[in-house]
């Protein structure tokens, strides 16, 4: 696996999630393809960059109204590059929520799988699938 590609993906995720954590819904959504999908398996699916931006904005507003600061951390990143330039990634995700009083809570850990593609030379998320560890499939 190409170390330059691995580094590029790490930078992509840092930019993407810092945009989300900073409440920049549009900037977060712009890291997805126009026809991208965000799937919170098995409960929720949002399709298209426009809808991802709207859903993200609603989430940011809800978080801010609660007086909470959320931070995302990705680890154990596995990368599989395809010959057509697409990249499949799989990683663990943790999300903390810090209240105004300084108390910290953790959301359930997740396994995330992404399909990244290049558009005009830039990596974009085409499909993200999030599976919470506390949700058991039938």
* Pairing state between β 110-119 and 104-106: unpaired
75-103: per-residue pLDDT in tens? 999 999 999 989 999 999 999 999 999 99
CA distances from residue 5 to 43, 52, 117 in whole angstroms, order as listed: 32, 26, 12
* Reported pTM: 0.93
Spell out the domains of the chain, with CATH numbers in brackets: 3-132 (3.10.450.50)
At residue 42, the pLDDT reads 79
For 88, half-sphere exposure in the C-beta direction (CA atoms, 13 angstrom radius) is 6
CB 111 within 8 A of CB 90: yes
11-24: per-residue pLDDT in tens? 999 999 999 999 99
- Tell me the helix, strand and coil percentages in the chain, rounded to 5: 30, 45, 25
> Could you tell me the pLDDT band of residue 1, with boundaries at 50, 70 and 90?
low
* Greatest alpha-carbon span in the chain: 50
- Mean pLDDT, rounded, for 58-79: 96
Cα distance between residue 132 and residue 138, in whole Å? 14
DSSP 30-66: TTEEEEEEEEEETTEEEESHHHHHHHHHHHHHHHHHT
34-49: per-residue pLDDT in tens? 999 999 987 899 999 9
């Amino acid at each position: 696996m190409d170390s330059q590609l691995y580094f590029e993906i790490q930078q992509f995720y840092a930019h993407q999630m810092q945009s989300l954590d900073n409440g920049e819904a549009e900037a977060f959504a712009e890291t997805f393809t126009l026809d991208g999908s965000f799937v919170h398996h098995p409960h929720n699916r949002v399709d298209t960059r426009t809808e991802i931006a709207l859903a993200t904005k609603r989430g940011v507003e809800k978080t801010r109204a609660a007086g909470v600061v959320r931070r995302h951390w990705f680890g154990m990143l596995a990368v599989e590059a395809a010959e057509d330039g697409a990249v499949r990634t799989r990683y663990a995700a943790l999300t903390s929520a810090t209240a105004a009083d300084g108390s910290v809570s953790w959301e359930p850990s997740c396994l995330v799988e992404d399909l990244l593609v290049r558009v005009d030379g830039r990596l974009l998320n085409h499909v993200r699938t999030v599976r919470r560890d506390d949700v058991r499939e039938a």
